[in-house]
Amino acid sequence: MGQVKRAQGDLAGAAQAFRQYNAIMLALTQRDPDNAGWQRDLYMSHWNFGDVREQQNDWNAAAEQYAQALAIAEKLQQADKLKAADKGDVARLRRDLQRVWAK
Protein backbone atom coordinates (compact mmCIF):
# COMPACT_ATOMS: atom_id res chain seq x y z
CA MET A 1 0.00 0.00 0.00
CA GLY A 2 2.85 2.37 0.82
CA GLN A 3 4.39 2.00 -2.63
CA VAL A 4 1.03 2.69 -4.29
CA LYS A 5 0.39 5.81 -2.21
CA ARG A 6 3.95 7.00 -2.84
CA ALA A 7 3.52 6.53 -6.61
CA GLN A 8 0.31 8.54 -6.42
CA GLY A 9 2.18 11.37 -4.69
CA ASP A 10 0.45 10.80 -1.34
CA LEU A 11 3.55 10.96 0.84
CA ALA A 12 1.62 11.30 4.10
CA GLY A 13 -0.43 8.21 3.23
CA ALA A 14 2.71 6.35 2.17
CA ALA A 15 4.43 7.23 5.43
CA GLN A 16 1.44 5.98 7.41
CA ALA A 17 1.31 2.72 5.42
CA PHE A 18 5.04 2.10 5.83
CA ARG A 19 4.82 2.88 9.55
CA GLN A 20 2.01 0.33 9.93
CA TYR A 21 3.87 -2.28 7.89
CA ASN A 22 6.99 -1.65 9.95
CA ALA A 23 5.06 -2.29 13.17
CA ILE A 24 3.75 -5.57 11.79
CA MET A 25 7.20 -6.71 10.66
CA LEU A 26 8.73 -5.70 13.98
CA ALA A 27 6.18 -7.83 15.84
CA LEU A 28 6.83 -10.80 13.56
CA THR A 29 10.61 -10.56 13.85
CA GLN A 30 10.34 -10.40 17.62
CA ARG A 31 8.39 -13.67 17.55
CA ASP A 32 10.92 -15.36 15.27
CA PRO A 33 14.23 -13.43 15.20
CA ASP A 34 15.93 -16.14 13.11
CA ASN A 35 13.52 -15.74 10.20
CA ALA A 36 15.76 -14.09 7.60
CA GLY A 37 12.81 -13.38 5.29
CA TRP A 38 11.02 -11.40 7.95
CA GLN A 39 14.24 -9.62 8.89
CA ARG A 40 14.64 -8.63 5.24
CA ASP A 41 11.05 -7.36 5.13
CA LEU A 42 11.73 -5.37 8.30
CA TYR A 43 14.80 -3.64 6.88
CA MET A 44 12.95 -2.99 3.63
CA SER A 45 10.11 -1.37 5.56
CA HIS A 46 12.62 0.93 7.29
CA TRP A 47 14.26 1.67 3.96
CA ASN A 48 10.98 2.52 2.21
CA PHE A 49 9.87 4.64 5.16
CA GLY A 50 13.24 6.44 5.01
CA ASP A 51 12.74 7.13 1.30
CA VAL A 52 9.38 8.75 2.02
CA ARG A 53 10.84 10.80 4.87
CA GLU A 54 13.60 11.95 2.55
CA GLN A 55 11.03 12.99 -0.05
CA GLN A 56 9.32 14.97 2.72
CA ASN A 57 12.67 16.68 3.49
CA ASP A 58 12.70 15.19 6.98
CA TRP A 59 16.41 14.41 6.95
CA ASN A 60 16.69 13.27 10.56
CA ALA A 61 13.80 10.83 10.29
CA ALA A 62 15.14 9.54 6.96
CA ALA A 63 18.61 9.02 8.47
CA GLU A 64 17.10 7.18 11.44
CA GLN A 65 15.14 4.82 9.18
CA TYR A 66 18.13 4.20 6.90
CA ALA A 67 20.36 3.53 9.91
CA GLN A 68 17.89 0.99 11.30
CA ALA A 69 17.61 -0.70 7.90
CA LEU A 70 21.39 -0.77 7.53
CA ALA A 71 21.92 -2.35 10.95
CA ILE A 72 19.54 -5.20 10.11
CA ALA A 73 20.94 -5.70 6.60
CA GLU A 74 24.52 -5.74 7.92
CA LYS A 75 23.57 -8.34 10.51
CA LEU A 76 22.02 -10.53 7.82
CA GLN A 77 25.07 -10.05 5.60
CA GLN A 78 27.45 -11.01 8.41
CA ALA A 79 25.38 -14.15 9.05
CA ASP A 80 25.46 -14.90 5.30
CA LYS A 81 21.65 -14.80 5.22
CA LEU A 82 21.16 -12.25 2.42
CA LYS A 83 19.80 -13.64 -0.82
CA ALA A 84 21.96 -13.10 -3.89
CA ALA A 85 19.56 -10.45 -5.18
CA ASP A 86 19.93 -8.49 -1.92
CA LYS A 87 23.74 -8.57 -1.63
CA GLY A 88 24.07 -4.95 -2.80
CA ASP A 89 21.55 -3.60 -0.28
CA VAL A 90 24.16 -2.84 2.40
CA ALA A 91 26.18 -0.66 0.02
CA ARG A 92 23.04 1.09 -1.25
CA LEU A 93 21.81 1.74 2.28
CA ARG A 94 25.19 3.21 3.23
CA ARG A 95 24.98 5.57 0.24
CA ASP A 96 21.43 6.59 1.17
CA LEU A 97 22.47 7.27 4.75
CA GLN A 98 25.50 9.31 3.68
CA ARG A 99 23.34 11.30 1.26
CA VAL A 100 20.86 12.38 3.95
CA TRP A 101 23.65 13.11 6.44
CA ALA A 102 25.10 15.51 3.87
CA LYS A 103 21.89 17.58 3.78
pLDDT of residue 67: 98
Q: Find out whether 6 and 14 touch, Cβ atoms under 8 Å.
A: yes
- Top-tier CATH class for 2-101: mainly alpha
Q: Find out whether 69 and 50 touch, Cβ atoms under 8 Å.
A: yes
pLDDT of residue 103: 84
pTM: 0.93
Q: What is the mean pLDDT of each run of 10 residues along the chain (103 residues)?
A: 92 94 95 96 96 95 97 97 94 97 90
